Amino acid sequence: MNHSNAPVLVYRGDYIESTHQIHIAVMSAKGELVAYYGNPHRLTFARSSMKALQTVPVVESGAMEAYHLTERELALFCASHIGERYHRDTVATVLKKLDLQETSLQCGIHIPRHKESYEQLIKKGGKLTPLFSNCSGKHAGMLAGCKKQGFSLDTYRDVTHPYQQQIIDVISDVSGYSKEKIVTSVDGCGVPVHRLPLDKVALLFARLANPENWHTENESRQHSLARICQAMVDYPEMVAGTNQFDTDLMRVFKGRLVAKGGAEAVHCFGDKETGLGVAIKVEDGNARGTRVTAMEVLKQLDIGDESIRNELEPYVEEAVLNARDEKIGKIVTQFQLNFL
pLDDT given for residue 5 in this prediction:
86
* pLDDT (average), residues 260-286: 98
Look at residues 202, 201, 55 and name the one whose alpha carbon lies nearest to residue 135: 55
pLDDT given for residue 2 in this prediction:
64
Taking the whole predicted model, whether its pTM rises above 0.95 is answered as: yes
CB neighbour class for 30 (10 Å; exposed up to 12, middle 13-18, buried from 19): middle
- pLDDT tens sequence across 40-63: 999 999 999 999 999 999 999 999
- Beta carbons within 8 Å of 7's beta carbon, 6+ residues apart: 20, 21, 22, 37, 38, 293, 333, 334, 335
pLDDT given for residue 29 in this prediction:
96
pLDDT at 229 over 70: yes
Q: If you average pLDDT over every residue of the chain, what do you get?
A: 97
CB neighbour class for 165 (10 Å; exposed up to 12, middle 13-18, buried from 19): middle
pLDDT at 4 over 80: no
pLDDT at 26 over 80: yes
DSSP 15-63: EEEEEE-EEEEEEETTS-EEEEES-TT-EEE-GGGGHHHHTHHHHHHTH
pLDDT at 1 over 70: no
- pLDDT tens sequence across 198-223: 999 999 999 999 999 999 999 999 99
User: Is 3.40.710 the CATH classification of the domain at 21-69+155-339?
Assistant: yes
pLDDT given for residue 207 in this prediction:
98
* pLDDT (average), residues 117-125: 91
Q: Would you kindly state where each structural domain of the chain is located, as residue ranges?
A: 21-69+155-339
- pLDDT tens sequence across 160-201: 999 999 999 999 999 999 999 999 999 999 999 999 999 999
pLDDT at 99 over 90: yes
Phi/psi at 237 (5° precision): -65, -25
- The number of beta carbons lying within 10 Å of the beta carbon of residue 66 is 13
- pLDDT tens sequence across 284-308: 999 999 999 999 999 999 999 989 9
Look at residues 302, 300, 263 and name the one whose alpha carbon lies nearest to residue 282: 263
pLDDT at 108 over 80: yes
Give me the percent of the chain exceeding a pLDDT of 90: 96
Q: What stretches of 124-240 show up as alpha helix (H) in DSSP?
A: 136-149, 162-175, 198-209, 219-234, 236-239
Bridge partners of 28? Answer: 276
